[in-house]
Structure 1
Amino acid sequence: MLQFWLAGGSESTTSADLAREREAQGWDGQMFMDSQSLSADPWVLMGAWAMVTERIQLCTSTTNPLTRHPAVTAACAASVQSVSGGRAALGIGRGDSALAYLGHAPARPAVFEQSLRDLQALLGGGEVNFAEHATTAAGANSSASLSLGHRPEAARLKWLPDDLPKVPLDVAATGPKVIAMSAPLAERVTFSVGAIPERLDWAMGIAREARGAAGLGDDGISYGAQVIVVCHPDLDAVLPAATSFVAPLARFQVIQGAAAGPLAADDAANFAAIRRGYDMNRHSEAISAEKLGGETLTPEFVRRFAIVGSPEHCIERLLALHDQGLERLVIVGPGFHPEADSRGPGLFVSEVMPAVRAELARRGR
């Protein structure tokens, strides 16, 4: 069955009422932004939600390998897994605003790949040897410099309960290198290439090829996608809101160069506009015409990259994404920030999600 997760935005706090409301609306999962300058700590928020909900799953969206040591990240995820009764997931990427607001670019691919291996070892109850994986904190000497008879030689979560289900690793992936390195290592891969069918086919093809090269099939992995959905009967009224949502997500594809993968006629020009104009200082602003610094996106590109329109249109495109092989959709849009008026978020929850689930149930999926 297709899962619907709600994307996490900039949050300063949370409430028990909000957590219960999202669960009652039927969301399968809630994502929590990890960006220390733009949002409250995700692990604290996830723990708070875990204590007042029973079913909804909880995941970071996304953490990174640099602002916390992998052992600290693994301990946070396992802690939420414990208090939630097994509803936690660890969403991780190379890093975006959390690093940009510290003056850094995303983690290098080799560092990111090693962090995935280290996290899987730690979450599985194993250890990460200090000698094999140098993780000395900046500003601190090695513990070998201390006068000790014996000292730890590896990082390990010694407190991890034997009966605690392993926290699944969910990698946010956009480019071919990260897709290929993460698919054989993680339990979940969530693509950030928009709702463009050709680009999703391309991304899943890379993932499956990488798993095949490692002697793995599709068993043991779940493919998902981060998708913008603005459901509203008046397309023209919500196109500016949809454009504001598209720019931050599409930017991942050009953050360090030209977009890889298949491109339609005007895709390259729109990606170039995002690369030239995106203002990270406005990253957390919901609806801001200044996000692109005077650059513009064509309506055609916005409607391809995002799902924008009536409930019937949204239902049709979401079903098509499931038919491509996606099992999870992280939805940016309803309830994430207000759209043109109050009807949009309600339509997605009251009409779109139930209709998609009913159709998949009718098909026996």
Structure 2
Amino acid sequence: MSYRSTIARQPDALADTHAAVSAELARTDLSSLDGPVIGVTGIGASFAAAVVVAAELQARDRRAFALRSVDMAAGHDLCDALIGLSHRGRSVETVAALEKLPSAGSLAITNDPESPLAKAAKLHVRLANGSDATPSSTGYTATLLAAGMVVQRLVGAPDDAFAMVPALARQVLSAAAAKMDRLARLFPKRRAIDCVGAVAALGTADGASLLIREASRIPASAYDTRHYLHGPMESMDATTGVVLFGAGREIELAQHLERIGCPVLLVTTADGVDDGELLTVIRVPQCENLIAQAIIDIFSAQLLAAQLSDAAGLTDTKFRYRMSDTKVPEGA
């Protein structure tokens, strides 16, 4: 299945995952995860998702942190409970992270209950996102949705913040698609693209930078908003681009970058911010839940990555680099 087609089918993938996770959580006791320190781990796009999930836990007054799987795999006792994210459940480092913490509460979120990660965890929640492509679209957003539902259950949230996400996904994908022809004129042939956001949106920025690298082979990096102001933005100019997620300092930053001749995409919940000559604004609905917001925010980056991939003549091109030691082999 093509990258664009998997992006388009996310409303259905999210609805299916919401139904599947609701049924699983109705019969799952998550109390073993409610430890003093909760770690969330993954690698690649799953680490970007871990940053988002940890931010929502922190917003709900839990001591939670996104932890690098390689640090966990070293056997350091860094948390009392660990949530491991991996779409297929075969990432070597994430499996090792859970195996190195046998006494901690642990939960794996994957699309395969027989995967190595599912077997390494004490608890498992299954995704129902169906097919995915490279770069990942349904796998990433379904992982966030499932993790968000777990967090809601863990903190005792009274309302389901994710029931409306499939409908919002359809709405946002349509609105973002209307801006892609404009972005196609402004963003191709960039020598680099930075992606910027704060708190949970730093995870979204990380996910976006990975999409751009994978789909178009344009060097892309992720930065925290405030950190970006302390030097990293100095190299940006008319030959680069910046993608910003947020409704605070990100607005002024976007306008400043436009003034120095740098094309900018701002994904924001703020009203009253208009397109400029080089500034493109995609307004998205505001969600109180940071994980739900991250799902909504990433759609614009997915479509931009697809646009840049087409412009580079790389539509649905497979990855060039396939390492032999990043996934647990089938049957192992």
TM-score (norm 1): 0.27
Larger Rg: 1
TM-score (norm 2): 0.29
Higher relative contact order (CA 8 A, sep 6+): 2
